[in-house]
Every structure is written in structure tokens, then in C-alpha cells.
């Protein structure tokens, strides 16, 4: 079994929060012990939805000290890395399926003084990312088709998650392995068992009818129970 020895980290996704009260969502995430905030940027081309841009990231940045992970679901990451860096992103993650050379884009992110992340769609094979892993500080394996929160976790991605974890262990650097999409009390532990140590959670924190702080605590408990 491919367990990660890295600490379990949770990143609530603001996409599932009430955009009219993002400040409340940020406070709830902090109080619930979040390790970072996940911000989903969508351009209406790479994915069939539009979310928000650098101005919102800037305003979130002013309201928290939590690291901001920017998940760029955009066709041309090169055009936007500067703006999201300046807005206060800490990790700038783009998709392997987007336009541009991922290694060159990773260097562009490092030149901005930020940490590069690489995201991978559910049906993109491990072979597409294997050689790129040493360039990145975070790998985001998507367990839903990107574009919307609140979708069901795709269990067929679990073997790929395990492959990425094993490859990262061979690289020998501590790289966060993130799982993004449909993470719940049931699926979070499954992803942990396959080697994920970083858990993006949208609806299971902000849109399940219970208090976000409590949701986060319960998720952490469930996931930590699965990691030796
Ligand atoms: C989907 C986004 C996810 C999403 C997660 O395209 O990348 O980060 O907000 O939301 P849940 O946890 O509800 O699937
Ligand atoms: Zn995301």
C-alpha cells in the first residue's frame, strides 16, 4: 500500500463557499484548522465554467495568512502566472493538458518566487506526468472532471494516485500529492490509502449543511485514521 509519510494537510476550496461571504468562509477555514486555501480559477475554455480572477485572489490574500494554492484551469497558463503571483498566490498549479511546456512554465513560476504545481485530469495517464515530477512542489490528481464542485469522486483514478505517490517517493523530494474532487469522509481515507497527503475539499466543507469548522475536523480525523 502506497502510504505517504508526509503530514496530512487540508485545503478547503472557496469555489464551494458563499461568494457573498468569503470572509466568513476564510474565518471558518482558519478556525477549522485548514492548512491552505484552494482557489479554482476557470477561464471558460479549458473547462466549461468561469469562476474568478486575480482580483479575488488579491482580496482573499488581504484577509488571511494561510497559504493560497491557485489551481489554474485555464488554456494558457503562461499568460496569467504573473498576475496570480502578484495577487498573492503561493502555489501556482496549472494543468499538464493546458498549452505550453510544463517544465518551462514551472521555471517561470520559480522565477516569480512561487511554488509550481502540476494538475492532471482524471483520464490523463500517469505516463504524461512521470518525467515532469521532479520540476514540481505539488501534484494535483483530479478525481472529478474539472469545472464544478460537488461532483462524485471517481474511484478509477485511485491506481494512478498510487503510481504518482510511488514515483514521487523515488524522486526522493517531499512533494505534496493533492487529491481534488469529491473528497468526503468516505473517499478521503481511500485517497490517503493510495498515497495522497493533501486533500482539497469543497462541498464536504462548505455545502453539506453542517458547520464548516466541524466538517474540517471530522475530515481530518477520518483521513488521519487511515494514515499510519
Ligand atoms: C473542480 C475543482 C475542485 C472543486 C472541489 O474543478 O478543481 O477544486 O472545487 O470541490 P468538491 O470538493 O466539492 O468536489
Ligand atoms: Zn481545484
Q: What single string gives the DSSP state of each residue in the chain?
A: -----SPPEEEEBGGGS-GGGHHHHHHHHHHTT-S-EEEEEEBSSSSS-B---HHHHHHHHTT--S-EEEEEE-S-GGGTHHHHHHTT-SEEEEETTSSS-HHHHHHHHHHTT-EEEEEE-TTS-GGGTGGGGGG-SEEEEESS-TT-SSPPP-GGGHHHHHHHHHHHHHHTS--EEEEESS--TTHHHHHHHTT--EEEESHHHHSSSS-HHHHHHHHHHHHHTT--
The residue written with cell numbers 494538475 in the block is: 119
CA torsion 190-202-156-96 (nearest 10°) is -120
Exposure pattern of 105-131 as b/e (b: 16+ CB <10 Å)? Answer: bbebbeebebbbbbbbbbebebeebee
Distance 5 CA to ligand 2 centre (A): 23
pTM of the entire predicted model: 0.97
pLDDT in tens, 133-182: 999 999 999 999 999 999 999 999 999 999 999 999 998 888 999 999 99
Distance 54 CA to ligand 2 centre (A): 15
Q: Give the number of whichever ligand sits closest to the CA of residue 49.
A: 1
Which residues are catalytic, by number?
Answer: 40, 180
CA torsion 218-220-221-223 (nearest 10°) is 120
Q: How far apart are CA 191 and CA 178, in angstroms?
A: 9
Q: Is 42 in the pocket of ligand 1 (CB under 6 A)?
A: no
Mean pLDDT of 59-84: 98
Q: How far apart are CA 204 and CA 131, in angstroms?
A: 33
The residue written with cell numbers 482557489 in the block is: 39
Atom of ligand 1 nearest to the CA of 207: 13
Distance 67 CA to ligand 2 centre (A): 15
Q: Whose CA is nearest to atom 6 of ligand 1?
A: 146
Q: Is 208 in the pocket of ligand 1 (CB under 6 A)?
A: no
Q: Is 71 in the pocket of ligand 1 (CB under 6 A)?
A: yes
pLDDT at 172: 84
pLDDT at 2: 52
Domain ranges of the chain: 9-224
Q: Give the number of whichever ligand sits closest to the CA of residue 215.
A: 1
- Considering the chain, what is the average pLDDT of its residues? 96
- Which CATH number among 3.30.450.20, 3.30.565.10, 3.20.20.70, 3.30.2350.10 corresponds to the domain 9-224? 3.20.20.70
Confidence of residue 6 (pLDDT cuts 50, 70, 90): confident
pLDDT in tens, 168-206: 999 888 899 999 999 999 999 999 999 999 999 999 999
What grid cell was written down for 210?
A: 453542517
Q: Is 200 in the pocket of ligand 1 (CB under 6 A)?
A: yes
Mean pLDDT of 97-119: 98
pLDDT at 4: 58
Would the pLDDT of 226 be above 80?
no
Distance 10 CA to ligand 1 centre (A): 13
Amino acid at each position: 500500500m502506497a502510504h505517504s509519510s508526509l503530514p496530512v494537510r487540508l485545503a478547503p476550496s472557496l469555489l464551494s463557499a458563499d461568494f457573498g461571504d468569503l470572509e466568513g468562509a476564510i474565518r471558518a477555514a482558519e478556525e477549522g484548522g485548514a492548512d491552505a486555501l484552494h482557489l479554482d480559477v476557470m477561464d471558460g475554455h479549458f473547462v466549461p465554467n468561469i469562476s474568478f480572477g486575480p482580483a479575488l485572489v488579491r482580496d482573499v490574500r488581504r484577509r488571511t495568512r494561510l497559504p493560497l494554492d491557485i489551481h489554474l484551469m485555464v488554456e494558457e497558463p503562461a499568460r496569467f502566472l504573473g498576475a496570480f503571483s502578484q495577487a498573492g498566490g503561493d502555489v501556482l498549479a496549472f494543468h499538464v493538458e493546458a498549452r505550453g511546456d510544463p517544465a518551462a512554465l514551472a521555471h517561470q513560476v520559480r522565477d516569480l518566487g512561487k511554488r509550481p504545481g502540476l494538475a492532471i485530469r482524471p483520464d490523463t495517464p500517469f505516463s504524461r506526468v512521470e518525467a515532469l515530477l521532479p520540476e514540481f512542489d505539488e501534484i494535483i490528481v483530479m478525481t472529478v472532471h474539472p469545472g464544478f464542485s460537488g461532483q462524485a469522486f471517481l474511484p478509477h483514478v485511485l491506481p494512478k494516485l498510487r503510481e504518482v505517490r510511488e514515483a514521487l517517493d523515488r524522486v526522493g523530494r517531499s512533494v505534496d500529492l493533492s487529491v481534488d474532487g469529491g473528497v468526503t469522509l468516505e473517499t478521503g481515507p481511500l485517497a490517503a490509502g493510495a498515497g495522497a497527503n493533501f486533500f482539497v475539499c469543497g462541498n464536504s466543507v462548505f455545502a453539506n449543511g453542517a458547520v464548516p469548522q466541524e466538517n474540517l475536523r471530522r475530515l481530518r480525523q477520518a483521513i488521519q485514521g487511515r494514515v499510519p
